[in-house]
Structure 1
Amino acid sequence: MQLQTSRLVTLMLFLVIALSLAACGQTAAPSAQGSSTPAAPAPAPAASPAPAAAPSDGKITVEDAQGTVTLAKKPERIVTMDFSFTDMLITLGVQPVGIADDGSPALFMDAVKSQLKSYTSVGSRYEPNIELISSLKPDLIIVDINKHKNALPQLKAIAPLLVLNDFQADYDQMLKNYIITAKAVGKEEEGKKRLQEHQAKMEAAKKKIKNANMTVLPAVVNPTGFFGHSDHSYSGSMLKMLGYTDPLKNDTAYPQMTLEQLVETNPQALFLMPTDKVTIVNQWETNPLWKKLDAVNNNKVYTVERRDWSLSRGMLGSEKIAEDILKQLGE
């Protein structure tokens, strides 16, 4: 009997010791995870360095028309020196604080104007108000390498510049400018996504267009001049991208033309972008030579908004051009 009792006590003692050891093992694991020893980091903290993929100093580096531009941080107060740059920012969800709008908000296309909030007009695109720009305390100014070349030193003294080849740019260059701008304002991924959407719209437009290879000429007309937009220009190159033929075959983007030269070029369709209510075309229409144009005889002379076809060289402007083309020549 005593032997059985002794065995029972021994067994119970063994169980108590085993349970004690098991309990120690369970508490040991958490204490190891909480250790500051770098040789055995815990899984959760190991994920924390992920944000370090971006530069630790927050700098943004891009290549513009003049070389490498490094911005200290994502810009928040941007001044745009042309309508095309404003178009680009609006599609990226960025509001400029200042715009060179020639003192006329009416020059913004509707799709831009409807999304544009309050801003300060900094004067003419060709003669901006430097003091006013400085007072806005911008951290980025977007400029054209040709149009603003005389003002670059003054503007550079105010804020970092993003210099783009815009005024002489064709459609493909505009797309490149868009991605450069998107990266500069910290919206590179949004820009790539919007570009894909735009390209899908253009491909859809191509499929709906009729009379491919028709000779089509866009032109800006003012009271004293007619300026054809060749396929080296923004609107002319876009028409070429859509499948139309440039009748100018000119090495310059915006050649000024006489009525005689226009008759010799003889486009099958004309898209006129007037700067004023009365232009040189009103005078030409009374000339017998005007009636020799195929576009006139085909009833394919159209008036479109210069702000859509020429000023707003961006995603929204391009999509409006495609819309106008489809309305008049497609479907």
Structure 2
Amino acid sequence: MLPMFERLLAALLVACALPAVAVEVKDDLGTVTQIATPPQRIVSLLPSLTETVCELGACARLVGVDRYSNFPAQVNALPKVGGMDDTNVELIASLKPDVVLVAVSSRVSERLRALGMKVVALEPRSYKDVQRVLDVLGRVLGVNDAQRVWRYIDAGVKAAASSVPAQAHGVRVYYEVASGLWAAGESSFMGETLTRLGAGNIIPANLGPFPKINPEFVVKANPALIMIGSRGAEGLAQRPGWDRIDAIRRGRVCVFKPEEGDILSRPGPRMAEAAQIMARCLREKAS
């Protein structure tokens, strides 16, 4: 009988000789992709996916990202392959990726597939989406227990909620996510965070996650608190009729800096930090 060490070594050699088990993943477009081995060269075309790849310990496998991916800092040294409307397909091809991660709304998925690249389309918009995307990316990357990231997010949001005083509960919020009056509805991940913090939302779930809102709708809803990015905040009180809104009359407007806007707008590992930013707004402006 072989000594214990030799038996362990023999078992290890056998395990190493076994072929990797391929996995099949279905993306948000319903496309099924076979991943033979965990990809070592990844291009990500959505900031939230970039951040999730890095949080799952695979940042070193990224070889290119979209122009808006800027966290963690190390991704800023990678080739930038453009944005949603001007993705540089030739540059992506030159990077020889094993897989390309794209948004569902990306216009280049079919072109990339036509060039023989594996493409996985994922675009989380709700808490459940974030959990599901973690599972898919964990399988793509060959990472065990990808849900550990979700447990961290969930615990962080709970901690943020506990910091919101009772007098801020139920305050009716209008959250403008982009210029042109694109709002965060109750069914969006931002809206779900507001709900978990105990706040109300003037944008009902039946309008969708991120609907474009008529300015008169906001005037009639008369929110007690407004959350908005610094780019959209300029001239807020000068919008027709908005000087009558309770939030503006009482100075209950939280203006988020660009770096805060990045955190708040990305459904990924920094959602707990986003909840803390919203909670601070509620503490300072609504209590």
Assess same fold via TM > 0.5.
Answer: yes
Note the C-alpha offset of 1:61.
3.0
| Residue 320 to residue 197, structure 1, CA distance change in 2 (3 Å) | closer
Note the C-alpha offset of 1:56.
3.1
Q: 1:71 aligns with which of 29, 35, 45?
A: 35
- What's the secondary structure of 1:188's corresponding residue? coil
| Residue-by-residue CA offset, 1:176-199 (whole Å, 9 max, x unaligned) | 21221122112232x222222222
- 1:271 and 2:236 equivalent? no
Structure 2: gaps of 5 or more residues: none
Q: Which residue of 2 aligns with 1:314?
A: 268
- AA aligned opposite 1:71: I
Q: Which residue of 2 aligns with 1:5?
A: none
Aligned pairs (5 A) from 1:79-90 = 79-90=43-54
| Residue 120 to residue 268, structure 1, CA distance change in 2 (3 Å) | same
| Residue-by-residue CA offset, 1:151-171 (whole Å, 9 max, x unaligned) | 2211123421122133xx223
- 1:154 and 2:111 equivalent? yes
CA distance in 2, matches of 1:55, 1:69: 22
- 1:213 and 2:167 equivalent? no
Contact 1:228 1:256 in 2 (8 A): yes
Q: Which residue of 1 aligns with 2:248?
A: 296
- What's the secondary structure of 1:98's corresponding residue? strand
Q: Which residue of 2 aligns with 1:188?
A: 144
Contact 2:157 2:193 in 1 (8 A): no
Contact 2:237 2:248 in 1 (8 A): no
CA distance in 1, matches of 2:194, 2:18: 41
Q: Which residue of 2 aligns with 1:282?
A: 234
Note the C-alpha offset of 1:136.
0.2
Note the C-alpha offset of 1:269.
1.3
| Residue 86 to residue 45, structure 1, CA distance change in 2 (3 Å) | closer
Which has the higher Rg, Structure 1 or Structure 2?
1
How many matched pairs? 274
Contact 2:197 2:279 in 1 (8 A): no
The Cα RMSD (Å) is 3.0
Structure 1: gaps of 5 or more residues: 1-32, 36-40
- What's the secondary structure of 1:142's corresponding residue? strand
Note the C-alpha offset of 1:173.
0.9
Contact 1:87 1:313 in 2 (8 A): no
- 1:329 and 2:276 equivalent? no
CA distance in 2, matches of 1:140, 1:238: 31
Q: 2:130 aligns with which of 135, 152, 174?
A: 174
- 1:140 and 2:99 equivalent? yes
- What's the secondary structure of 1:62's corresponding residue? strand
CA distance in 2, matches of 1:134, 1:286: 48
Note the C-alpha offset of 1:81.
0.9
Contact 1:83 1:313 in 2 (8 A): no
- 1:164 and 2:164 equivalent? no
| Residue-by-residue CA offset, 1:27-80 (whole Å, 9 max, x unaligned) | xxxxxx259xxxxx9994599279859973342333322143321111111001
Contact 1:98 1:121 in 2 (8 A): yes
Among all aligned residue pairs of Structure 1 and Structure 2, give the percentage whose two residues are the same amino acid: 22
- AA aligned opposite 1:265: A
Contact 1:140 1:159 in 2 (8 A): yes
Q: Which residue of 2 aligns with 1:15?
A: none
- 1:198 and 2:164 equivalent? no
CA distance in 2, matches of 1:206, 1:309: 16
Note the C-alpha offset of 1:133.
0.3
Q: Which residue of 1 aligns with 2:66?
A: 100
| Residue 220 to residue 201, structure 1, CA distance change in 2 (3 Å) | closer
Aligned pairs (5 A) from 1:18-29 = none
Q: Which residue of 1 aligns with 2:85?
A: 126
- What's the secondary structure of 2:241's corresponding residue? helix
Q: Which residue of 1 aligns with 2:22?
A: 59
- What's the secondary structure of 2:75's corresponding residue? coil
Q: Which residue of 2 aligns with 1:116?
A: 75
